[in-house]
Amino acid sequence: MKEYNGDIIQYRRERAWEALDEAELMAKTDHWNTCVNRLYYACFYIVSALLEKNGYSSSKDTGIRSLFNVHFVKSGLISKNLAAIYSDLFERRQESDYGDFFTFEKADVVPWIEDTKRFVAELDRHFETGTVE
């Protein structure tokens, strides 16, 4: 396992919260596809910070998801229910960013905002307590 970089970890934690703020701004202006993109990246940044802290890294989204699942979800450190938020947002972002004629609706996206806040907060807590609830 490689040694982790505290500056990168802090940057990614901050980016997670910033992406959440951006998602909420997009929601206020009814930009639902962009909101989903920012929700996904909030999860991505906090997961990549957690991986970095534990000496894991990947240059691809799929690699980040795989490492997270292997080292945190399958090991039981992160619940499958909590991890599902990240996986679902990955799929939703793929649809909206790469699919033609795909538009999310408010009713679909609004619940994901609170789910993402919970996901980011619970993973971010790990940096203060060393545990994830």
Confidence at residue 6, expressed as pLDDT on a 0 to 100 scale: 86
Check whether 73 has a pLDDT greater than 90: yes
Q: How confident is the model at residue 2 (pLDDT cuts 50, 70, 90)?
A: low
What's the pLDDT at 126? 85
Q: Per CATH, is 6-129 categorized as 1.20.120.330?
A: yes
Q: Domain locations in the chain?
A: 6-129
pLDDT, residue 52, reads: 93
pLDDT band at 1 (very low <50, low <70, confident <90, very high): very low
Q: Which two tokens stand for residue 49?
A: 């910070």
C-alpha to C-alpha distance for 132 and 83, rounded to whole angstroms = 12
What does the angle CA 103 – CA 118 – CA 24 come to, to the nearest 5 degrees?
45
Contacts of residue 112, Cβ cutoff 8 Å, sequence gap at least 6: 36, 39, 85, 88, 89, 92
pTM: 0.91
